Amino acid sequence: MDESRKRPRDRGPLSREDVTADSPFTLPGFFAELAEGRLTGAACSDCGHAMVPPRPACYACGSRAVAVEKQPRAGEVVSYTAVHTPPPAFEARAPYTVGVVELASGARLTGRVDADYDAVAIGDPVELTVRDPGDAELAAALDHETDWPIHVFEVR
Is the bond preceding residue 28 a cis peptide, omega within 30 degrees?
A: no
Which residue, 47 or 138, has its beta carbon nearer to Zn ion? Answer: 47
Contact 31, 147 (CB under 8 A): yes
Nearer to Zn ion, 58 or 77 (CB): 58
In the complex, least distance from residue 68 CB atom to Zn ion, rounded to whole angstroms: 15
CA distance 10 to 32: 14
Rule CB under 5 A: which of 74-93 touch Zn ion? none
- Using DSSP's 3-state secondary structure scheme, residue 134 falls into coil
Among 21, 61, 119, 138, binds Zn ion (CB under 5 A): 61
128 binds Zn ion (CB under 5 A): no
Q: Which candidate, 61, 63, 39, 56, places its Cα nearest to that of 130? A: 39
Indicate whether 44 belongs to the interface with Zn ion (CB under 5 A). Answer: yes
Please identify, using beta-carbon distances, which residue of 9 and 49 lies nearer to Zn ion: 49
Q: Which stretch binds Zn ion (CB under 5 A): 11-19, 41-49, 68-76, 144-152?
A: 41-49
Report DSSP letters for 45-72, one per residue. TTT--EESS--SS-TTT----EEEEE--
Point out which residues bind Zn ion (CB under 5 A): 44, 46-47, 49, 58, 60-61, 63
